[in-house]
């Protein structure tokens, strides 16, 4: 199973420099877990930068995977992970969702570099 964090989705949807890195995970929806928080973050960013139709299309693409809502167990795990790794709220929820489903987290967010079960690529300038 795979989870792609919000920065990865945005990179892929924009066909930016690291899009190919995320393609394998995103293009296999049968193995894709999508936290609702990621949908929120991607929708918001695209709405700010483009328009509502583009944001809705991105959300629809994300919904091709298995969408996972924030539950109490995931929230508690996220709190533990946040404290253990000094992660911000959103990052800790995405990592907790990934771990709760035994998934690999794909990211270009340096906060995740060197964590277990994470595939990290450095964001290009």
Sheet holding 118-120, edge to edge: 66-68, 32-35, 2-4, 104-107, 118-120
DSSP state of 66: E
CATH number at residue 73: 3.40.50.1010
Decide if 81 is inside a domain: yes
Decide if 109 is inside a domain: yes
Q: Which domain holds residue 66?
A: 2-120
Q: What was the pLDDT predicted at 18?
A: 97
Decide if 89 is inside a domain: yes
pLDDT of 125 above 90: no
Instruction: Give the pLDDT confidence of 72-116 residue by residue, as tens digits.
Output: 999 999 999 999 999 999 999 999 999 999 999 999 999 999 899
Q: What was the pLDDT predicted at 124?
A: 86
Q: Mean pLDDT across the chain, nearest whole number?
A: 97
Give how far the C-alpha of residue 55 lies from the chain's centroid of Cα atoms, to the nearest Å: 16
Instruction: Give the pLDDT confidence of 11-20 residue by residue, as tens digits.
Output: 999 999 999 9
Q: What percent of the chain has pLDDT over 70?
A: 99
- In sequence order, the β-bridge partners of residue 4 are 106
Decide if 125 is inside a domain: no
Tokens matching residue 70: 């924030």
Pairing of strands 2-4, 118-120: unpaired
Decide if 12 is inside a domain: yes
Q: What was the pLDDT predicted at 45?
A: 98
Decide if 8 is inside a domain: yes
Instruction: Give the pLDDT confidence of 6-58 residue by residue, as tens digits.
Output: 999 999 999 999 999 999 999 999 999 999 999 999 999 999 999 999 999 99
Instruction: Give ∠ CA 1-77-33 in degrees, rounded to 5.
Output: 20
pTM: 0.95
DSSP H helices, the chain, are: 6-13, 19-26, 36-49, 52-62, 72-85, 89-100
Domain count, the chain: 1
Decide if 98 is inside a domain: yes
């Amino acid at each position: 199973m795979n989870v792609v964090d919000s920065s990865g989705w945005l990179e892929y949807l924009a066909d930016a420099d690291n899009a190919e890195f995320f393609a394998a995970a995103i293009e296999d929806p049968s193995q894709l877990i999508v936290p609702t928080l990621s949908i929120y973050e991607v929708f918001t960013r695209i709405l700010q930068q483009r328009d509502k139709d583009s944001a809705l299309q991105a959300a629809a693409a994300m919904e091709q995977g298995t969408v996972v809502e924030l539950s109490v167990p995931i929230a508690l795990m996220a709190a533990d992970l946040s404290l253990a790794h000094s992660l911000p709220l959103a990052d800790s929820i995405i990592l907790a969702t990934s771990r709760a489903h035994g998934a690999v987290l794909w990211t270009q967010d340096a906060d995740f570099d060197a964590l277990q079960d994470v595939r990290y690529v450095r964001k290009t300038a």
